[in-house]
Amino acid sequence: MKSIAEMTQVELAAFVQSHLQEKGVSVILSGGASVAFYSDNQYVSADLDLICTLFTKQRVIEEVMQRLGFSQKGRYFTHPDTTFFVEFPPGPLSVGKEPVQKIEEYELETGILKIISPTDCVKDRLLGYFYWGDRQSLQQAILVAHMNPIDLAEIERWATEEGKLSDFGKIREQLIRP
């Protein structure tokens, strides 16, 4: 097994997920780290957002993370052997008003990586663009959409439910793979 110092971001996520799973805690990778994964690291994120799928006592997470050598600093967990830090944002695992549709699993040397799908990753990034005008979030959504198969009709349906169909219409063509 690789040391934490040698792990990539997603290998570290799978490692932490596997150890949490041993204690009955199921977490899914979301946020910027999912963009990094689906863009083959063309986008770089320093943190891992791991969202609990069920109610979990914070104490259990803290115990597992401490056993792995992480220290809690505010809302983040840091480890002396890596620059990546881990956060457990509150659930539920959703994109806007809807629960995440699909979880992908990838077997890595360090464990099973559970991550939101490319389609839900695009939705997650579009939230930042739709609600706060964040152009970087839009660029991340486009990057993921260009590098992965996504369900554009599902994203359009979701944008309609979010009340953002007009905004989606303005950027729809940018999400189509060249």
> Which pLDDT score is estimated for 1?
79
> Which pLDDT score is estimated for 178?
86
d(CA 100, CA 20): 20
**Which amino acid belongs to residue 74?**
G
Q: Record the pTM.
A: 0.94
In the predicted model, is pLDDT for residue 171 greater than 90? yes
**Which amino acid belongs to residue 4?**
I
pLDDT grade for 72, boundaries at 50, 70 and 90: very high
> Which pLDDT score is estimated for 28?
97
137 in Cβ contact with 128 (< 8 Å) = yes
Cα four-point dihedral sign 148, 152, 154, 159: positive
In the predicted model, is pLDDT for residue 90 greater than 90? no
> Which pLDDT score is estimated for 54?
81
Q: Could you read off the pLDDT of 107-163 as tens digits, one per residue?
A: 999 999 999 999 999 999 999 999 999 999 999 999 999 999 999 999 999 999 999
**Which amino acid belongs to residue 28?**
I
Q: Could you read off the pLDDT of 4-55 as tens digits, one per residue?
A: 999 999 999 999 999 999 999 999 999 999 999 999 999 999 999 999 988 7
d(CA 93, CA 40): 23
> Which pLDDT score is estimated for 91?
85
Of 86, 72, 73, the closest CA to residue 30 belongs to: 86
B/e letters for 133-147, b = 16+ CB within 10 Å, e = fewer, are: eeeebbebbbbbbee
In the predicted model, is pLDDT for residue 101 greater than 90? no
